[in-house]
Structure 1
Amino acid sequence: MKAILAVAGLALLVAGCGETTLARPAMPTVVVRPTQPTSGLERVMGQNAAGLTQLFGAANADVREGTARKLQFQGTFCVLDTYLYPGKNGGEATVTYLDARQPDGSPIDRASCVAALARRNGGK
Structure 2
Amino acid sequence: MVLLRSRPAVPLLALALLAGCGGGSGGSGTVRSTGTPPTKPSRAVVRPPQRHIAPPPLIQTLPGVAGVIGATPGELIRQFGAPRLDVQEGDARKLQFAAAPCVLDVYLYPPAPGREAQATYVDARRASDAQEVDRATCIAALRRQPAPGTNGSVTRP
- Fold shared, TM-score > 0.5 on shorter chain: yes
Q: Distance in 2 between matches of 1:84 and 1:54?
A: 16
SS in structure 2 at match of 1:88 = coil
Q: Distance in 2 between matches of 1:97 and 1:90?
A: 20
Q: Distance in 2 between matches of 1:51 and 1:84?
A: 12
- Higher relative helix content: 1
1:69 aligns with 2:93: yes
1:85 aligns with 2:85: no
1:58 aligns with 2:82: yes
**Structure 1 residue 90: Cα displacement:** 2.1
Q: Distance in 2 between matches of 1:37 and 1:56?
A: 20
Q: Which stretches in structure 1 are left out of the alignment for 5+ residues?
A: 1-35
Amino acid at match of 1:57: G
Q: Distance in 1 between matches of 2:120 and 2:140?
A: 18
- TM-score scaled by structure 2? 0.54
- The structure whose Rg is larger is 2
SS in structure 1 at match of 2:79 = helix
Q: Which stretches in structure 2 are left out of the alignment for 5+ residues?
A: 1-59, 148-154
Corresponding position of 1:108: 133
1:43 aligns with 2:77: no
**Structure 1 residue 37: Cα displacement:** 5.7
Q: Distance in 2 between matches of 1:123 and 1:37?
A: 24
Identity of aligned residues (%): 48
**Structure 1 residue 43: Cα displacement:** 1.5
SS in structure 2 at match of 1:51 = helix
**Structure 1 residue 123: Cα displacement:** 3.2
Amino acid at match of 1:114: I
1:119 aligns with 2:144: yes
How much is the aligned-residue C-alpha RMSD, in angstroms? 1.3
